Amino acid sequence: MFLPQKWQYSGFQLTGHPPMTVSETEYLASYNIHDFDIPLTSVDVVIFTLHENKLKALIVKRAEHPFMHHWALPGGFSDLQLDDSIEQTAYRKLFEKTQVSSPYLEQLETVGNNKRDPRGWSTTIVYFALIASDNVTLQSGSGTSDVKWLDIETSWPQLAFDHAELLKNAITRLRNKVEYTNLPLHLLPQSFTLSELQNVFEIVLGRKVDKSAFRRRIREAALLEEIPGKMRLGNNRPAQMYQAKAENYCHYFSRNIIGKTTK
Amino acid sequence: MFLPQKWQYSGFQLTGHPPMTVSETEYLASYNIHDFDIPLTSVDVVIFTLHENKLKALIVKRAEHPFMHHWALPGGFSDLQLDDSIEQTAYRKLFEKTQVSSPYLEQLETVGNNKRDPRGWSTTIVYFALIASDNVTLQSGSGTSDVKWLDIETSWPQLAFDHAELLKNAITRLRNKVEYTNLPLHLLPQSFTLSELQNVFEIVLGRKVDKSAFRRRIREAALLEEIPGKMRLGNNRPAQMYQAKAENYCHYFSRNIIGKTTK
DNA sequence: TGAATAGTGTCTGTAAGACAGTATTTG
DNA sequence: CAAATACTGTCTTACAGACACTATTCA
């Protein structure tokens, strides 16, 4: 079961490459990444927003091989000069397309295999972002010829690579997390009413929830603050407007939202 | 806000590389990954087990540069010949060290930046695995000179790269998920008693839970099946033994376990 | 019999679901 | 006034927590 490792190997090194006589400094000086057969690594971003009461994801039309002229998720390679980290790559890609600089951004998954890219072994790190649709200015940017919001409930165009599956996974993750987090807050503009917030939850969940229970849940989590005197006016009773407290980037409820099953 | 993209770009392509006159076939034929400056990409695996009533993680002593002679998480590069996917790389690394072939394995996070590896820009895909400690045979394998279980509650040796942080993140993820999933099942051998299962939950959570509530929760989730007649004997009332139903790889409870706050 | 652990019964507390009620605006 | 939406009150239900109780073995 548990071998006594200490005596088995202590005092000598197994053979390895590079040889033991090379110091770490010498090793690093002679190290050349291009000597190794390593996979492509890219970053893709699933950008969600709410537009016309629909949940939408951003897709771009590729202007380059492979999959030229196909729709795809925005993404690309880390620029080792521009980016200090893969998060920065994700933020940069998101900003290039939307001009939004402070989204909710979360790492989703990393997919790497020898099937997904015709160029060979390829790995992509997938992020998902939530942004408010106000103040977004879409830009196709470099490497793409078009950009648009895809209503995730309608039929999708054929997406490049395995991007249809990546998008499906992102939708699943978002739906799951909405059951026990406050993520939909990030799909709304800075100020909003409780009815608007509830509406966002319902759109993402795909079902109605009870108003009274919903408000109690939000109130008791202390996620929001009233904006004194600011009301949403209409042909009915005015609604109090709220904003998210800064500290509530992601709040976890201790129970799932169950809600009504009918839409 | 939302630009009418259709008319803006339809009918022509933006300039791009490679030029439009090259077909995809020609492009792929001339494509050479070594022409590009791409980051190192590795896979690391945090392997948890339960041993002597402690939660432990596997660490290996590096026999190669960089960080030679330092303890580190098991991991390494995908072998583009051996591995069809990064999951396979993770399974391979896990099997090399433990001879366990069917662990619980989950992707944790991917960390990529220009600080974490002295060789330069580097990305690692981190997995975490849960295995039962019975039938494990530790092997240091290639590139490492030693291997051992690290009790995560004791003080750690200095770990190579950012592995201390990766391990900390894995522990956090495991602890969080134990609040609302059945993950501890995978730390036990095939058959076990309910008290043993509760004990595993308590070790991972770091606190006691109520026996009656715990059993109700497990019973109502229908995760287990009795092994008829098989009992754990001792100087006390014998305990019924159970095994996990095959379909319950990962069960999500709809509420967190709250439990007692005293250990 | 006592020690030890297995296993159960039942009361309480908390938060969600259901749903009907009241409140406040415009037209 | 009616229509529409905002907001609240209250009863019920579900399930976790607390904790005491019973059960079954060995020494």
pLDDT-based confidence at residue B104 (cuts at 50, 70, 90) = very high
Closest CA to A184 of A175, A172, A94: A175
- A5, A107, A123 member nearest B138 (Cβ): A5
Give the closest residue to D18 (Cα–C1′).
B210
Q: Which helix (H) or strand (E) holds B61?
A: strand B54-62
Region at B176 (left for phi over 0; alpha for psi -120 to 50; beta for the rest): alpha
What's the rounded Cα separation, in Å, for the pair A62 and B16? Answer: 10
pLDDT given at position A79: 87
**Residue-by-residue pLDDT tens, chain A, 263 positions:** 222 222 222 222 333 333 445 666 665 566 565 555 555 689 999 999 999 899 999 999 999 888 989 999 999 988 888 899 999 999 999 999 999 988 899 999 999 999 998 888 899 999 999 999 887 888 887 889 999 999 999 999 999 999 999 999 999 999 999 999 999 999 999 999 999 999 999 999 999 999 999 999 999 999 999 999 999 998 899 999 999 998 778 999 888 887 654 33
What's the rounded Cα separation, in Å, for the pair A11 and A5? Answer: 12
Encoded tokens for B71:
């303890």
Rg (CA), chain B: 24
Closest CA to A46 of A80, A88, A76, A74: A74
pLDDT-based confidence at residue B38 (cuts at 50, 70, 90) = low
pLDDT-based confidence at residue B131 (cuts at 50, 70, 90) = very high
| C-beta of residue B104 within 8 angstroms of C-beta of residue B249 | yes
For chain A, give the DSSP string.
----HHHHHTTS----SS-TTS-HHHHHHH--GGGS---EEEEEEEEEEEETTEEEEEEEEE-SSSSTT-EE-SEEE--TTT-SBHHHHHHHHHHHHH---S-EEEEEEEEEESSS-TTSSEEEEEEEEE--STT------TTEEEEEEEETTSPPPPBSTTHHHHHHHHHHHHHHHHTTB-GGGGGS-SEEEHHHHHHHHHHHHTS---HHHHHHHHHHHT-EEEEEEEEEEESEEEEEEEEE-TT-SS-B-SB-----S--
What's the rounded Cα separation, in Å, for the pair A162 and B227? Answer: 43
Residue A15 phi, psi dihedral angles, 5° rounding: -65, 145
pLDDT-based confidence at residue B255 (cuts at 50, 70, 90) = confident
Closest CA to A194 of A149, A235, A227: A227
Q: At what angle do helices A163-178 and A194-205 cross, to 10 degrees?
A: 130
Closest CA to B50 of B122, B117, B104, B116: B104
Strands A224-234 and A191-193: what pairing? Answer: unpaired
Q: Which amino acid is at B75?
A: G
Residues of B in contact with A91 (CB under 8 A): none
At the top level of CATH, which class does the domain A40-177 belong to? alpha beta
The residues of chain A that CATH labels 3.90.79.10 are 40-177
pLDDT given at position B13: 31
Residue labelled with tokens 């695996």: B45
**B73: Cβ contacts below 8 Å, ≥ 6 apart:** B44, B45, B46, B57, B58, B59, B60, B126, B159, B163, B166, B167
Closest CA to A194 of A137, A167, A232: A232
The reply to whether A137 Cβ lies less than 7 angstroms from strand C is: no
User: A212 CA to C11 C1', in Å?
Assistant: 28
Give the closest residue to D23 (Cα–C1′).
B237
What's the rounded Cα separation, in Å, for the pair B218 and B251? Answer: 10
Question: How far away is chain B from the Cα of A10, in angstroms, using its nearest Cα?
Answer: 8
In 3-state terms, what secondary structure has residue B47?
strand
Mean of the per-residue pLDDT values of chain B: 84
Closest CA to A132 of A177, A192, A193: A192
Strands A122-130 and A40-51: what pairing? Answer: parallel
Closest CA to A55 of A149, A140, A167, A147: A149
Q: Touching check for A175 and chain B: CB below 8 Å? A: no
pLDDT given at position B254: 84
pLDDT given at position B124: 96
In 3-state terms, what secondary structure has residue B77?
strand
The Cβ-side half-sphere exposure at B192, using a 13 Å CA radius, reads 19
What's the Cα-to-Cα distance from A223 to each of A49, A220, A226, A230, A249, rounded to whole Å? 21, 8, 10, 18, 10
For A168-200, give the DSSP string.
HHHHHHHHHHHTTB-GGGGGS-SEEEHHHHHHH
Q: Which of residues 82-111 of A touch B (CB under 8 A)?
A: 84-86, 107, 109-111
pLDDT given at position A26: 63
Q: Which amino acid is at A245?
A: K
Q: Mutate which of A78, A81, A148 to disrupt the B interface (most B C-beta within 10 Å)? A: A78
Encoded tokens for A201:
């939850």
pLDDT given at position B199: 95
Write out pLDDT tens, residues B215-237: 999 999 999 999 998 999 988 99
The CA-CA-CA angle for residues A81, A85, A91, to 5°, reads 95
Give the closest residue to C25 (Cα–C1′).
A237
At the top level of CATH, which class does the domain B181-244 belong to? mainly alpha
Which nucleotide lies at the shortest CA–C1' distance from B213?
A: D16
| C-beta of residue A194 within 8 angstroms of C-beta of residue A245 | no
pLDDT given at position B224: 95
pLDDT given at position B7: 23
Q: Which of residues 9-48 of B touch A (CB under 8 A)?
A: 9-10, 12-14, 16-18, 20, 22, 24, 27-28, 31, 33-34, 36-41
pLDDT given at position A31: 59
User: A184 CA to D6 C1', in Å?
Assistant: 21
**In this predicted model, which residue has the larger pLDDT, B39 or A18?**
B39
What's the rounded Cα separation, in Å, for the pair B124 and B167? Answer: 13
B115 pLDDT more than 50: yes
What's the rounded Cα separation, in Å, for the pair A132 and A190? Answer: 8
The pTM of the full predicted model, rounded to 2 decimals, is 0.86
| C-beta of residue B96 within 8 angstroms of C-beta of residue A96 | no
**B138: Cβ contacts below 8 Å, ≥ 6 apart:** A2, A3, A5, B58, B97, B98, B147, B148, B149
The residues of chain A that CATH labels 1.10.10.10 are 181-244
